[in-house]
Amino acid sequence: MELKPINQQVVSVVGAASGIGRATAIKFAKGGAKVVVSARSQSGLESLVKEIHDFGGEATFVVADVSEFEQVKAIADKTVEVYGRLDTWVHLPAVGVFATFDRTKPEEFKRIIDVNLMGQVYGAMVALPHLKREGRGALIHISSMEGRRSLPYQSAYSSSKHGVEGFIEAMRLELLHEKWPISVTSIKPAVINTPFWNNGLTRLGVKPSGIPPYYDPRLVADAIVYAAEHPTRDYLVGDVAKVLDLLQRISPSLVDSLLLLVGFQLQHSNEPKSEEPNNLYQPVLEHDRVDGDYNNLVIPSISDVVEKNPLFQWGAIATAALLALLTAQAFKEKG
């Protein structure tokens, strides 16, 4: 499966007004891609397109709520109308409620499913016909490590991300069976420093916090752009995501114990916050930016540097092989 170079692509970035989506659209545009950005916030999209135009990039925007199928279809239609085709579809929008399950209202749980899961479903449904017409392309879905491991206070969000993992696995197999050269990627970030923590509806009495450490949104943007050129099944972003995934596979009860120890307390910040404002039904315009408020807790991710650099990968393999050889030699001499 061979994907086009970024500078030859038309890319639709859904959920681009802030956070990872905004960083991703900028990175694609700087790489020479023609970009269509969409979100609910018109002011956020206008400022993003202006920023892209200011450095010489090509971009247009569509205002859309992904819980509405026809609005998602309008994004794909506009992409093809303006640029003639679609090569990569990146789907990011997500909302959250921070509360125990018994304090989450039915309509709130449904809204999260409608945006986080059905929005992703609608995105794939409208993008696939265009990708098939081109004969190749990429579907990149932004899931979460919560698609592998649920967290307390986030039952609806975790449910939606588990659902995303389920439908794209089935869809990927169907495309492989039919021999379509369309890459389907699930990006699973760890905790990322975006305005998501400002925007979530909270019943914790304080602004919610991710369980530290945090990673830079641009790290996820790097992974997305990489997957748009290099077919990738799953991409876990952040060292902690890879460690948590491994621990969950080995012993879910161990992860239960760890989360009982730190998972409740560390999701509370020291900043009081009421339920409003939140972006469950309407965008919060002042948060149309890439970074959140936890810059002091952001750390680098070594594994992400290694994964995207073949030289580092071979270096790691060579080092492991050398250590294995030295260990075997030591045992041999001891024997």
Measured distance CA(264)–CA(153) in Å, rounded: 8
pLDDT at 306: 82
20 pLDDT above the threshold of 50: yes
pLDDT at 330: 54
118 pLDDT above the threshold of 70: yes
> What are the Cα distances from residue 89, in Å, to 2, 125, 254, 325?
16, 11, 37, 45
pLDDT at 318: 54
317 pLDDT above the threshold of 70: no
Measured distance CA(160)–CA(162) in Å, rounded: 6
Q: Which residues contact 51 (CB under 8 A, 6 or more apart)?
A: 26
pLDDT at 286: 92
pLDDT at 324: 53
CATH of 6-300, one of 3.40.50.720, 1.10.630.10, 2.40.50.100, 3.40.1190.20: 3.40.50.720
Strands 58-63 and 137-142: unpaired
Catalytically annotated residues: 157
pLDDT at 305: 84
Calculate the average pLDDT of the chain.
94
Q: What confidence tens digit (pLDDT) does each residue in 137-168 have?
A: 999 999 999 999 999 999 999 999 999 999 99
Q: What is the CB-side half-sphere exposure of residue 164 using CA atoms within 13 A?
A: 36
Measured distance CA(222)–CA(224) in Å, rounded: 5
Domain positions in the chain: 6-300, 302-335
Element (H, E) at 197: helix 196-199
CB atoms within 10 A of CB 109: 17
Tell me the whole-structure pTM to 2 decimals.
0.92
pLDDT at 322: 58
CB atoms within 10 A of CB 166: 12
> What are the Cα distances from residue 39, in Å, to 66, 149, 176?
8, 27, 31
CB atoms within 10 A of CB 210: 21
244 pLDDT above the threshold of 60: yes
CB atoms within 10 A of CB 201: 24
Q: What confidence tens digit (pLDDT) does each residue in 170-189 have?
A: 999 999 999 999 999 999 99
Q: What confidence tens digit (pLDDT) does each residue in 63-84 have?
A: 999 999 999 999 999 999 999 9
Measured distance CA(221)–CA(261) in Å, rounded: 31
